[in-house]
C-alpha cells in the first residue's frame, strides 16, 4: 500500500482535543504515522490536498440494521457497508434482529466473516465509473449480540461467548427487554465483558397496536398512539436495576423529552449510562406521518416539537453523547402497505451526516469538534473499539479517516442512497455538507461525486 499524505485540512481528532490545520501522514502499513502541520510526504506517498475540508477519524455508527441473514432482499452486510461508506462512515455496528437472530458466538463469527469478505472484495474491486460514487464503497462491520436467545426476551443468550467472539454490545433492539428479571441478569452478565447493554426502551404492554406517536395526528388518522411514558418508564426501571450492578447501560434512539430528563439526572449522579439520538428524531415531528406517510413511520416514533427541542438541548448539554442513524431498510412494496401494516424504519446511513449538520451545526447548537466526538470516539468507546485503535488519529492507529466537505450544497436524491432500499423521508431535502472521502486502514474507498471537478 502506498503511503498517504492528507495535506492542509482542518484536522479534528476529538479523542486528543485536536482541532487545527495540519497534515495527516499514513505509512505503508496503513497506520497513522503523524499528524502535524507542514509534514513532508513519505517517499512515494500519494498527496491529497484537503484545504477547506475537515479531516477526522472515520465516522462510526453504532446502530444499523443490515438484514443479513434472513432479509437479504432489503440489505446485506456488503450493501449496508456500501451505504455506510457513501455516508462517510468507516465503521458500523449491526443489530441482531436478523433471521435467525445474532444470538450465539457462531452467528457473531459468521457476521465477522461476511464483513471481512465484503471489505476485501470492495478493496480489490475496480472502480465502477457508472456509479455516482467514483470510489469503492465498504466499511468495517461489527455485530451487536442479542441479549436473549432468539430475541424472545425469555432466556439469557450466551453473553460471554459472544463477547469473546467479537460482539461489541448486547441488545434485543426492535424489541425491548421487557422482563425486569431478565434485564437484571443481562446487566450482570454483560458487566464483566466491558461492553454495554443497549436497550430499546418501549413498554410493549402500553404500545400494543401502536403505529405512531400518541398525539393529534394519530387521533385524526385513527391510529393507536405510542405514548412517551412507555419509553420513560423502561429507562427509570433499568437505571434502578443497574444501581446495584453498575454495568454499562446505553439507551438507543431516544425520542421523548422526559427520557432526556431522566438520562440527564442519572448522568449527573454518575451512573454509567449513555444515550444516542437519531437524525430523524432531531429534525422531524409526528406531523410527518400525516396523510399516512409510511416513509415517516418509525420506532420509536417521531414525536412533538418539544421532544425535538429537548433532544437537541440534550445534545447541547452533553446528556446525549452519541449519534446513530438506526439505518433500517425496507422495500417499496412493504412501505406501500396501509400505514398500520407497513414496517417501522427508514434508511439513514447515507444522509445522517448532512442531517446532523442541519440539526446541530447550522443552528449553532454545537461545533464540529463536539459533533465529531459524537460520531467517532464516543461510539468507539461505547463499543470498545477504541481498544483496537478505532475512533482516533493517534499515531499507530489504523488509518480509518473520513474527509468532509462542510459547505458543499446538495439535494438528497435516490442516487445518493447506495444501499438496497430507498425508504427515506428526506428525499428531495436540501442538504449542506457531506463526506467526500473515506479511508480504511489507509485504503482509499469513498470518493464522492464532484470531488475531482472541485479540486
Partner 1 sequence: MPHLLGLQGMPPDRLRSLLARARDLIPHAERARPPLDTRRGASVVNLFFEDSTRTRLSFTLAARRLGADVADLTAAGSSASKGETLLDTALTVRALGASGIVLRHAMSGAAIAAARALDALPGPPCAILNAGDGRHEHPTQGILDALTIAEAHARLPDFNLGGLRIAILGDVANSRVARSDIAALTALGASVVCVGPPGLCPPSLRSLGCDTSHDLDAVLPDVDAVQSLRIQMERSPALASVRDYAAGYQLDLARSARMKPGAVVLHPGPMNRGVEITGDVADGPRSRILRQVTLGVAVRMACLAECLAR
The catalytic site residues sit at 326
Candidate residues 70, 192, 216, 367; the one interacting with partner 1 per rule CB under 8 A: 216
Cα→Cα distances 193→94, 177, 248, 438, Å: 19, 19, 10, 31
Helices (H), ranges, 321-437? 332-335, 352-356, 368-375, 377-382
- Choose the binding region for partner 1 from 37-45, 144-152, 214-222, 259-267 (rule: CB under 8 A): 214-222
Residues 6+ apart with CB under 8 A from 325: 61, 63, 64, 87, 278, 279, 348, 349, 351, 352
Least CB distance to partner 1 at residue 223 (A): 5
- Read off the C-alpha cell for 196: 454495554
For partner 1, the binding residues in 331-370 under the rule CB under 8 A are 333, 336-341
For partner 1, the binding residues in 222-261 under the rule CB under 8 A are 222-224
Helices (H), ranges, 91-227? 105-124, 159-165, 180-190, 204-207, 216-221
Distance separating alpha carbons of residues 207 and 225, to the nearest angstrom:
7
Secondary element (H or E) of residue 61: strand 59-64
Per DSSP, the three-state class of 349 is coil
Q: DSSP for 214-268, please give it.
A: SSHHHHHHT--EE-THHHHHHHHHHHHHHHTT--EEEE-S---HHHHHHHHHHHH
Distance separating alpha carbons of residues 455 and 451, to the nearest angstrom:
6
Nearer to partner 1, 28 or 340 (CB): 340
Distance separating alpha carbons of residues 176 and 275, to the nearest angstrom:
15
- 388: how many CB neighbours lie within 10 A of its CB? 10
Nearer to partner 1, 215 or 300 (CB): 215
Site track 289-308 with partner 1 (rule: CB under 8 A), x = hit: --xx----------------
- 309 contacts partner 1 (rule: CB under 8 A): no
- 205 contacts partner 1 (rule: CB under 8 A): no
Number of residues that bind partner 1 (CB under 8 A): 20
Least CB distance to partner 1 at residue 307 (A): 16
- Read off the C-alpha cell for 54: 475537515
Nearer to partner 1, 345 or 391 (CB): 345
Candidate residues 47, 51, 113, 219; the one interacting with partner 1 per rule CB under 8 A: 219
Least CB distance to partner 1 at residue 221 (A): 6
Nearer to partner 1, 222 or 364 (CB): 222
- 99 contacts partner 1 (rule: CB under 8 A): no
- 268 contacts partner 1 (rule: CB under 8 A): no
Least CB distance to partner 1 at residue 211 (A): 8
Sheet harboring 89-94: ordered strands across?
A: 59-64, 89-94, 140-143
- 51 contacts partner 1 (rule: CB under 8 A): no
- 80 contacts partner 1 (rule: CB under 8 A): no
Nearer to partner 1, 27 or 307 (CB): 307
- 425 contacts partner 1 (rule: CB under 8 A): no
Candidate residues 1, 42, 206, 221; the one interacting with partner 1 per rule CB under 8 A: 221
Nearer to partner 1, 309 or 336 (CB): 336
Distance separating alpha carbons of residues 268 and 253, to the nearest angstrom:
20
Nearer to partner 1, 292 or 344 (CB): 292
- 413 contacts partner 1 (rule: CB under 8 A): no
- 215 contacts partner 1 (rule: CB under 8 A): yes
Candidate residues 85, 162, 177, 214; the one interacting with partner 1 per rule CB under 8 A: 214
Secondary element (H or E) of residue 20: strand 18-26
- 47 contacts partner 1 (rule: CB under 8 A): no
Footprint on this chain of partner 1 (rule: CB under 8 A): 208, 211, 214-216, 219-224, 291-292, 333, 336-341
Amino acid at each position: 500500500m502506498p503511503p498517504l499524505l492528507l495535506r492542509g485540512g482542518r484536522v479534528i481528532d476529538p479523542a486528543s482535543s485536536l482541532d487545527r490545520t495540519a497534515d495527516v501522514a499514513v505509512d505503508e502499513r496503513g497506520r497513522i504515522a503523524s499528524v502535524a502541520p507542514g509534514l513532508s510526504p513519505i517517499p512515494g506517498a500519494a498527496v491529497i490536498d484537503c484545504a477547506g475540508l475537515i479531516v477526522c477519524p472515520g465516522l462510526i455508527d453504532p446502530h444499523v440494521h443490515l438484514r443479513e441473514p434472513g432479509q437479504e432482499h432489503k440489505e446485506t452486510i456488503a450493501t449496508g457497508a456500501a451505504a455506510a461508506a457513501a455516508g462517510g462512515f468507516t465503521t458500523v455496528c449491526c443489530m441482531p434482529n436478523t433471521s435467525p437472530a445474532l444470538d450465539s458466538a457462531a452467528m457473531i463469527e459468521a457476521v465477522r466473516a461476511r464483513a471481512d469478505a465484503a471489505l476485501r472484495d470492495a478493496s480489490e474491486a475496480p472502480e465502477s465509473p457508472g456509479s455516482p460514487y467514483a470510489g469503492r464503497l465498504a466499511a468495517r462491520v461489527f455485530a451487536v449480540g442479542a441479549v436473549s436467545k432468539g430475541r424472545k426476551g425469555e432466556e439469557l443468550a450466551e453473553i460471554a461467548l459472544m463477547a469473546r467472539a467479537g460482539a461489541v454490545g448486547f441488545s434485543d433492539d426492535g424489541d425491548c427487554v421487557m422482563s425486569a428479571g431478565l434485564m437484571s441478569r443481562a446487566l450482570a452478565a454483560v458487566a464483566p465483558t466491558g461492553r454495554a447493554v443497549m436497550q430499546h426502551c418501549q413498554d410493549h404492554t402500553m404500545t400494543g397496536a401502536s403505529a405512531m406517536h400518541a398525539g393529534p395526528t394519530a387521533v385524526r388518522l385513527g391510529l393507536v398512539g405510542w405514548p412517551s411514558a412507555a419509553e420513560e418508564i423502561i429507562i427509570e426501571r433499568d437505571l434502578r436495576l443497574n444501581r446495584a450492578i453498575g454495568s454499562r447501560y446505553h439507551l438507543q434512539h431516544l425520542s421523548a423529552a422526559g427520557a432526556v430528563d431522566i438520562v440527564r439526572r442519572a448522568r449527573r449522579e454518575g451512573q454509567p449510562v449513555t444515550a444516542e439520538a437519531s437524525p430523524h428524531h432531531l429534525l422531524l415531528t409526528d406531523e410527518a406521518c400525516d396523510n399516512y406517510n409510511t416513509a415517516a413511520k418509525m420506532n420509536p416514533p417521531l414525536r412533538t416539537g418539544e421532544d425535538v427541542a429537548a433532544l437537541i438541548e440534550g445534545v447541547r448539554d452533553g446528556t446525549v453523547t452519541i449519534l446513530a442513524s438506526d439505518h433500517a431498510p425496507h422495500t417499496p412494496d412493504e412501505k406501500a402497505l396501509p400505514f398500520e401494516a407497513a414496517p417501522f424504519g427508514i434508511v439513514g446511513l447515507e444522509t445522517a451526516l448532512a442531517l446532523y449538520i442541519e440539526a446541530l451545526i447550522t443552528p449553532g447548537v454545537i461545533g464540529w469538534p463536539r459533533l465529531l466526538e459524537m460520531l467517532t470516539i464516543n461510539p468507539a468507546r461505547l463499543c470498545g473499539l477504541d481498544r483496537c485503535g478505532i475512533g482516533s488519529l493517534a499515531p499507530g492507529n489504523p488509518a480509518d479517516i473520513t474527509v468532509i466537505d462542510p459547505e458543499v450544497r446538495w439535494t438528497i436524491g435516490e442516487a445518493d442512497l447506495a444501499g438496497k432500499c430507498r425508504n427515506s423521508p428526506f428525499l428531495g431535502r436540501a442538504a449542506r455538507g457531506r463526506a467526500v472521502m473515506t479511508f480504511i486502514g489507509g485504503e482509499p474507498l469513498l470518493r464522492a461525486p464532484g470531488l475531482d471537478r472541485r479540486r
